[in-house]
Amino acid sequence: MIPPSHPDNPGFDCPPRGTGVRQLTDDRGELKSTNFNQMKYQVDEKGYYGEFGGAWIPEMMFTNVDELKRRYLEIIESESFKKEFDQLLKDYVGRPSPLYYASRLSEHYGSKIYLKREDLNHTGSHKLNNTIGQILLAQQLGKTRIIAETGAGQHGVATATVCALKGIKCIVYMGALDVSRQAPNVKKMKMLGAEVIPVHSGNKTLKDATNEAMRDWINNPEDTHYIIGSVVGPHPYPDMVARFQSVISAEMKKQLLEQTGSEFPTRILACVGGGSNAAGAFYHFLDDEQVELIGVEAAGKGVDTDETAATLTVGTPGVLHSSRTVLMQNEDGQITEPYSISAGLDYPGIGPLHAHLFKTGRAKFLAATDEEVLQAVLLLTQKEGIIPALESAHALAALDKIKMNPDDVNVINLSGSGNKDMETYLDYFGY
């Protein structure tokens, strides 16, 4: 039933029929749509969010993914795991991250704006929430070698950080273009003891780094755990990463209650590439449909150009990195190259949860251009003295695209610090 994998494409990028891709959750190899009325917004027992998700994997990856699928919930729901995870989030990451009322930005927009300050976490982004969880999981699985992919470098730094913390060997795959434009993070990873491997295939960005990391995992199944940095990839990764990042929205509810008298904001805005920070910010509000959820993709030079990463605007359903989702592809099912000034959003797909939220209408997805994003960076910097990451600034840029009332409570997940992007900012603004 399962023919040999194509030598040039072992099932990672939008595989056509008969290229050796095994659907872990359906022995017939058929995509089964889930009745939306039977589930809301959480993953089902087969790894799907509605019609998106699953584990579309090369035969050689079956053992790796099946082990995770069988054991991840048992491990992460154990008392010993939760105790160490919570302790590290508090004492090492520095959680809870503040929910900051941005008074001058609020005055500028004529509405109440709060910033969830994930940029203040250790390593400067939300990424450590997930890598802490996955390094503990890897230890429970008996793995002694960690691999990861990274775009902007924040996930790579977070992975290298937890590997240093636990004394585990770390290899990070990073597109060669991203290596050059995110040099400070590359140096941090190396200082932390990680081996950074530049990837020169494709457009030398995040997609290509992910491909190489998956190939490494196939070749080293016994001792290696792959820490995927977003809510993408085969089941159980999208669910697992969302669970680790859900601490963001759990804190948000408590902080909103303390500061506003209600757990529920009017809306939450978050940037979306793969979508891990957005998944974390949305997670505990998914069933609270009075809360508007807005994801903001990278429009790049514009959604009507060939230089964009706005997947949900220009993409169509297909399989990318072992999951059925929405992705940027041509009529032949070949991946089209994304573009964004932001290395962390320069990805031709989106996590299956977000594809489901889009299709069901639970979340709205907008897109911000490079120019809009850079102006949003400058506005926040000069109004609040906070320099955001390019990724996070996409959510800030969306404030100019929505209608807000004076009494609205708008929460922006400020997913990362702009320290890594200073060269881009200095070049653009001429300082």
Please state, in angstroms and rounded to a whole number, the distance separating the CA atoms of residues 373 and 279: 21
> Considering 5, 246, 415, 417, which one is annotated as catalytic?
415
Q: DSSP 3-state helix, strand, coil percentages of the chain (rounded to 5)?
A: 45, 20, 35
Task: Answer yes or no: are the C-beta atoms of 329 and 14 closer than 8 Å.
Answer: yes
Could you tell me the CA-to-CA distances from 81 to 135, 266, 299 in Å, in that order? 11, 34, 39
| Dist CA 147 CA 316 (whole Å) | 30
Answer whether 346's CB lies under 8 Å from 273's CB.
yes
Give the angle 233-412-366 at the CA atoms, nearest 5°.
Answer: 65
- Cβ count within 10 A of residue 6: 15
How far is it, in rounded angstroms, from Cα 21 to Cα 161? 34
Distance, in Å, from the CA atom of 421 to the CA atom of 429, rounded to the nearest integer, reads 12
Integer CA distances (angstroms), 38 to 23, 41, 45, 301, 330, in order: 22, 10, 12, 40, 33
DSSP letter for each residue of 16-31 = PTTSSEEETT-TT---
Catalytic residue among 51, 118, 149, 212: 149
Work out the burial of residue 175: count CB atoms within 10 Å of its CB; fewer than 13 is exposed, 13-18 middle, 19 or more buried. Answer: buried
Looking only at the bridges linking them, the beta strands covering 112-117 and 409-414 are parallel
Structure tokens at 336: 């089209």
Length of the chain as a residue count: 431
Structure tokens at 211: 């491909």
185 closest CA partner among 160, 164, 206: 160
Q: Which single residue is written with the structure tokens 């997940």? A: 413
Residue of 69, 112, 127, 204 with catalytic role: 127
Helical axes 422-429 vs 370-384, angle rounded to 10°: 100
- What does the alpha-carbon distance between residue 101 and residue 85 come to, in Å, rounded to a whole number? 28
127 counts as catalytic: yes
Measured between alpha carbons, how far is 429 from 138 in angstroms, rounded to an integer?
43
**Which sequence positions are flagged as catalytic?**
127, 149, 415
